Amino acid sequence: MATEVLWWIFAVAIVATAAGVVFSRSVIHSAICLILSLAGVGAIYAFLMVEFLALTQFLIYGGAVTVLILLALMLTRVGATGLPDKVTGAQAPFAALVGLGLMATLIGVAVGTKWPNDIDDAPTNIPVEQISEVLFRDYGAPFVIASVVLLVALVGAIILARQEEGE
């Protein structure tokens, strides 16, 4: 019972902060809402009993990714001149239509489908050792490929963002 109450508190907080990311007029407010929203998703992983993912979520998203985004916001700040910028384009009503339609469809499918034995199977704890075993043994090749992807992305980002001669 207490778990359900906590779950609903976190769910409402995640949805509220996600809405803050999307609808807020200030980019800094959006970034702070994003941090809170990602931390809430980490809490959801904790509810699903995957502690390793919860920790990873806090470290990678709460730490690395949001710091990167804040840095980019700082570097791309247009001078505060006069009127505040429009935050959404003219297509916003259509975007809202697409979002609402997608939400209705997804919720309809999620509620309408008969899932097998989903009530009896409570989430049980997944130890880190088990995850590492599967990740490094069964999925070793994708793991190596993912590291190559990271390396290439890193080098590419440096090349793209570098200040070149004569600029």
Residue 130 C-beta: closest distance to other proteins, Å = 6
Q: Tell me how many residues contact other proteins (CB under 8 A).
A: 85
- Spatial contact of 74 and 31, defined as CB atoms under 8 Å apart: no
Residue 83 C-beta: closest distance to other proteins, Å = 14
Q: Find all residues with CB under 8 Å of 24, minimum gap 6, and list them.
A: 30, 33
Residue 59 C-beta: closest distance to other proteins, Å = 10
Interaction of residue 84 with other proteins, rule CB under 8 A: no
Choose which of 80, 81, 84, 116 interacts with other proteins (CB under 8 A).
116
Choose which of 9, 28, 60, 144 interacts with other proteins (CB under 8 A).
60
Distance CA 44, CA 111 (A): 19
Q: Find all residues with CB under 8 Å of 131, minimum gap 6, and list them.
A: 50, 52
- Spatial contact of 81 and 90, defined as CB atoms under 8 Å apart: no
Interaction of residue 58 with other proteins, rule CB under 8 A: no
Ranges within 121-140 binding other proteins (CB under 8 A): 121-124, 126, 130-131, 134-135, 139
